[in-house]
Amino acid sequence: MTTTLPAGTARRQLLNKVPEVTVFFWVIKILCTTVGESFADYVNETLGFGLTNTTVLFSAGLVAVMVVQFRTRRYVPWVYWLAVVLISVVGTLLTDNLTDAQGVPLWLSSTVFAVLLAGVFAVWYLRERSLSIHAIDTTAREGWYWLVVLVTFALGTAVGDWTLELTGWTPGVAILLPASLLLAVLAGWKLGAGPVMSFWLAYVLTRPLGANIGDFLALPGDGGGLGLGTLVTSVVFLATILATVVYLTLTRIDRTEEQVGTTTTARPAGRPD
């Protein structure tokens, strides 16, 4: 795939700033999502920081990491995935603040975040003429990308919690719904559905999947879980993320860029953009 900036546009040109969409990408994404749920609960509830202080703490951490992420010129695994971990926590807390602190119904927050996500996609496309993650090679496109990621985490949290509220399912049973929908998205992509749409649908659906997995592992038996607790769940998943990121850093198998210049060439992979 070759991406060339529009004529007359002066912008900072980068190597593609996001990883290739491989099985490792989805594994880490789900792990990050689970950490976003369990670690936020641990700091907020177990340590007693409270919702507001927890939100401020992780938002400050996210801003600091984002400064580093935007200053790099290429995809750096540890920076990128640390940003995803923190944005998963902040996205979760956005919905939690609306629901728990402001009393906003989950159906309303789900609707608002869905409309907001559609609006961000629309403006991103009108400005850049591409939603492909294989073309995150300017500061502007990277900004749109991370804004979408934040909204998808907030939307996935709201929709997942709303589903549990409506159904009363235990976390273990609740895992089956987003897992089934993800398989449907995969089947649709294999049958010719648009790769960009398929990618972002899967990105949203991994949020409730990871959250339900986290709840299933952390909650006690009488709550439908395995009773590992939020701390153990967070530590195990963070360690797994770290090991996977180290592997990706050493092997470089999820790098897409090949050269720098006015044109950036990315390795085609036959996977959703």
Running DSSP on this structure, what letter comes out for residue 5? P
- Local mean pLDDT, 10-residue blocks, the chain (273 residues): 42 73 92 84 86 92 96 92 93 91 93 95 92 86 95 89 88 90 95 90 89 86 85 90 93 70 42 47
Phi/psi for 264 (5° steps) reads -110, 125
- Residue with structure tokens 């995969």? 186
Hey, where are the domains in the chain?
25-255
Q: What are the DSSP E strand ranges found in the chain?
A: 2-4, 263-265
Nearest one of 14, 11, 127 to 69, comparing CA atoms: 14
pTM: 0.84
**pLDDT at position 258, please?**
44
Residue 207 phi/psi, 5-degree rounding, is -65, -55
Q: What is the pLDDT of residue 61?
A: 95
The whole-angstrom separation of Cα 78 and Cα 69 is 10
- Cβ neighbors of 5 (< 8 A, separation 6 or more) are 11, 13, 138, 262
Query: Distance (Å, rounded) from C-alpha 29 to C-alpha 45?
Result: 24
Q: How far apart are CA 233 and CA 218, in angstroms?
A: 6
Nearest to 201 by CA among 142, 273, 98, 256: 273
